[in-house]
């Protein structure tokens, strides 16, 4: 079997209707879902007797994921349409996630302390991220977010400016009234972040009249600024979805 045929089977983005390609895609999706379930239930005491089964399932999953990743790495330069260099393959964002999904298993054999092992186990969540490649809707959302990055960066810059300006203004007023609460600009920034995002965080609150006026204005501005990213992504998503439906 030549490189191109192996690539057609292993690579989901190839869009092949070949039976083995479809079967392999289904296998990967099922493994991702099962790995996510195991990641959750293995923390329950009632399943503590199944650690051996979970370990063997881990070995089986990593074997399949490794075959998928390294098989595509070896065959990516197959020389036909869609062929890419190995360097480009390695630094592709989706392939980096695929590598991170299997890396914790191999690194667990090194002499690491328990804290490092816990971090490595948490990295297995990247196996769930892999499913975005196999679910067209999730891939569509990913494409929309990529296209919206420039707009989101502009909005984020405005939000950051608003947070710093409002925090600076509030600190200059509230630090005099309650120096034990607003000890530094960081306390004011923490408050401004909560006021803009409506997040329930343990931050000091203004007590002066002017401070409350600033808080009210910032809260009203926050309603608009926080809604902007969602509006941008939603608008692009609808356009992308309409294009996708027309093409299909």
Which one of 3.40.720.10, 1.20.120.350, 3.60.15.10, 1.10.1740.10 gives the CATH number of domain 3-134? Answer: 1.20.120.350
CB 246 within 8 A of CB 180: no
CB 128 within 8 A of CB 32: yes
**Tell me: the pLDDT tens digits for 117-169?**
555 555 666 666 666 666 666 667 777 878 888 888 888 888 888 888 888 88
CB 82 within 8 A of CB 15: no
Task: State how far the Cα of 141 lies from the Cα of 133, in Å rounded to an integer.
Answer: 11
Instruction: Supply the pTM of this predicted model.
Output: 0.58
Mark out the alpha helices in the chain (DSSP H runs): 3-10, 19-41, 51-75, 86-90, 93-107, 114-122, 126-129, 131-134, 136-147, 149-177, 185-197, 209-247
**Tell me: the pLDDT tens digits for 196-217?**
776 667 777 788 888 888 888 8
**Tell me: the pLDDT tens digits for 65-112?**
899 889 888 888 877 777 888 888 888 877 887 888 888 788 777 765
Domains 3-134 and 149-247 share a fold: no
Looking at the domain covering 149-247, what would its CATH class be? mainly alpha
Q: Kindly list the domain boundaries of the chain, sorted by start residue.
A: 3-134, 149-247
CA of residue 156 relative to chain centroid, distance: 18
CB 151 within 8 A of CB 237: no
């Amino acid at each position: 079997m030549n490189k191109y045929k192996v690539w057609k089977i292993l690579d989901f983005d190839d869009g092949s209707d070949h039976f083995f390609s479809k079967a392999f895609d289904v296998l990967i999706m099922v493994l991702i879902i099962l790995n996510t379930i195991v990641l959750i239930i293995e923390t329950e005491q009632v399943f503590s007797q199944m650690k051996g089964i979970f370990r063997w399932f881990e070995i089986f999953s990593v074997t399949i994921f490794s075959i998928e990743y390294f098989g595509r790495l070896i065959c990516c330069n197959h020389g036909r349409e869609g062929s890419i260099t190995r360097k480009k393959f390695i630094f592709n964002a989706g392939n980096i996630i695929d590598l991170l999904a299997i890396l914790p298993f191999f690194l667990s054999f090194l002499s690491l302390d328990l804290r490092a092992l816990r971090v490595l186990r948490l990295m297995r969540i990247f196996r769930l991220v892999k499913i975005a490649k196999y679910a067209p809707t999730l891939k569509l959302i990913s494409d929309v977010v990529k296209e919206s990055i420039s707009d989101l960066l502009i909005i984020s810059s405005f939000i950051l400016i608003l947070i710093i300006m409002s925090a600076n203004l509030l600190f200059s007023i509230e630090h005099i009234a309650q120096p034990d609460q607003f000890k530094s600009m960081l306390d004011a920034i923490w408050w401004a972040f909560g006021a803009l995002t409506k997040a329930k965080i343990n931050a000091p609150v203004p007590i002066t009249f002017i401070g409350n006026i600033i808080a009210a204005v910032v809260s009203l501005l926050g309603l608009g600024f926080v809604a902007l990213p969602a509006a941008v992504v939603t608008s692009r998503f609808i356009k992308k979805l309409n294009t996708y439906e027309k093409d299909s």
